[in-house]
Copies of this chain bind each other. A is one copy, B any other.
């Protein structure tokens, strides 16, 4: 019967949750208009242009049920607009509105600053190391 101790504070899942908490708080403080997930959707739409809702979800790492809620809330704010795809009647095309594009552009620098603030306790080299290691765990 093994009794390896379970050090909660050293578990990767617990650390991820706590760092995420801190990051979300910094983001919400800096950019109150939208959430991190909503901003990710704006970024991808700006980068890739109009996308079907499910495809947009895959591009932003959200399942079909989640992306629907996010798109609905963005549409309610007038930041994206949806339209049926004439070529495939199952699809719903999601596009940035002028307002959504404007908000995204206006907040890019702030959003990059949020990432910097989150990583503030680390040196430049350490930030790069962390980013690289995390990218290998996706």
Contacts and interface: CB of A to CB of B under 8 A. Distances in A.
A70 to B, nearest CB: 13
Interface in A19-46: 19-24, 27, 36-37, 40, 43-44, 46
B134 A130 contact: yes
A112 B108 CA distance: 39
Task: Say whether chain A's binding surface is mostly helix, strand, loop, or mixed.
Answer: helix
Contact of A122 (B10, B131, B133): B133
Contact of A108 (B4, B9, B24, B47): B4
Interface string A7-25: 0111111111111111110
A90 interface: no
B131 A15 contact: yes
Interface centre among A15, A36, A44, A118 (most CB of B within 10 A): A15
Contact of A138 (B8, B11, B22, B24): B22
Interface of A: 2-4, 6, 8-24, 27, 36-37, 40, 43-44, 46-47, 60-61, 108-109, 111-112, 114-115, 118-119, 121-122, 126, 129-131, 133-138
Contacts of A47: 8
Given A12-B119, A14-B40, A17-B61, A133 B137 contact: no
A104 to B, nearest CB: 8
A44 B6 CA distance: 10
